[in-house]
Amino acid sequence: MALGQTCTPMQQATNARPPRSVNAAIQLIWLTLIANALMLALDYDDASSDAMAINDILLVFNGFVAIKIAGCKNWARLVFAVLVALDVALILAFGLDEATDLEVLVTYLSVALEGRALLNLFSGEADQWFSPSQKN
């Protein structure tokens, strides 16, 4: 499926609900967002207002992407893959040296959940659901 394509009307009519792997991925994304939002709330006093604003925007954007994935938007699962890659790259580049134990735990948990969500979003079942050529 090309970047801008979405599910065909036939797919939406016959497969209005995402397959199990996509549903699980969406739930994992929301779980990650909730964990990160709680972490931001706990860290609210220590963070700069600029950092909080950026994190809030990223949380909202990730929620938007999750909603679009549930709406069978292939571009959204590709954007999610890029966001996860950037997340991992930033962790590797800057490390977690100054993070608290709880922040490290939540970060590793988030990356693990995002990784599992990616596996689900690019499984054969998900590929078929996102494919415009699906007929059943």
What's the first-to-final CA gap in the chain, in angstroms?
A: 17
Q: What pLDDT is recorded for position 13?
A: 45
Q: Where are the domains of the chain?
A: 19-130
Structure tokens at 66: 């999750």
pLDDT digit string, tens, across residues 56-81? 899 999 999 999 999 999 999 999 99
Q: What pLDDT is recorded for position 48?
A: 73
Q: What pLDDT is recorded for position 26?
A: 97
Place of tokens 């950026």: 54
Residue 96 reports pLDDT greater than 90: no
pLDDT digit string, tens, across residues 102-121? 889 999 999 999 999 999 99
pLDDT digit string, tens, across residues 27-36? 999 999 999 8
Average pLDDT, the chain: 85
pLDDT digit string, tens, across residues 118-132? 999 999 999 999 987
Q: What pLDDT is recorded for position 4?
A: 47
Q: Which of 2, 15, 3 is nearest to 129 (CA)?
A: 15
Torsions phi, psi for 59 (to 5 deg)? -65, -45
